[in-house]
Amino acid sequence: MSTVEKKRSLLVMRHSPYGSSLARATIDLALAMGAFDQDFDLLFMGPGVLQLVKDQHSEQLGLKNAGKILSSLPLYDMEAVYVDATSLQRYGLAEQDLVLPVNVLDSTRLPLFLNDCNHVLSC
């Protein structure tokens, strides 16, 4: 009997939460993937890490709070959330500043992690 290796899908979030509609579109994609039982991981890089910051005050911009929306992703059986350590450092953030538990990938582990994925969608 042969075993089927599970394919690993990764959705890379690269945009700041409120600068354009790209971040919101990517969040909507993650929600849709979860709603249709797609197994996937999320990776936040660059300005994308700002989507995970607690206590965002987006109502001043007339927009929905990205952090609140992302905090609901575990309800959709999302596999795991990863964050680029360099990006966290660049924005002066620590894991406790984020709305979700994350796995931090340093500059050594990040390329290996990306190489291990079967499908990568970067938005």
Q: Distance (Å, rounded) from C-alpha 63 to C-alpha 116? A: 35
Tell me, yes or no, whether 77 lies in a domain. yes
> What pLDDT is recorded for position 6?
61
* Residue 3 domain-assigned (yes or no): no
Query: How many domains are contained in the chain?
Result: 1
Which CATH number is 26's domain given? 3.40.1260.10
pTM of this prediction? 0.85
Domain containing residue 25: 9-122
- Alpha carbon distance 107, 7 (integer Å): 24
Consecutive 10-residue runs of the chain (123 residues): their mean pLDDT? 64 85 84 82 93 78 73 76 96 93 95 90 82
Tell me which amino acid residue 94 is: A
CB 102 within 8 A of CB 52: yes
In this structure, are residues 26 and 13 in contact, taking their beta carbons and an 8 Å threshold? Answer: yes
Please give the pLDDT value at position 5: 59
4 falls within a domain: no
Residue 54 lies in a domain: yes
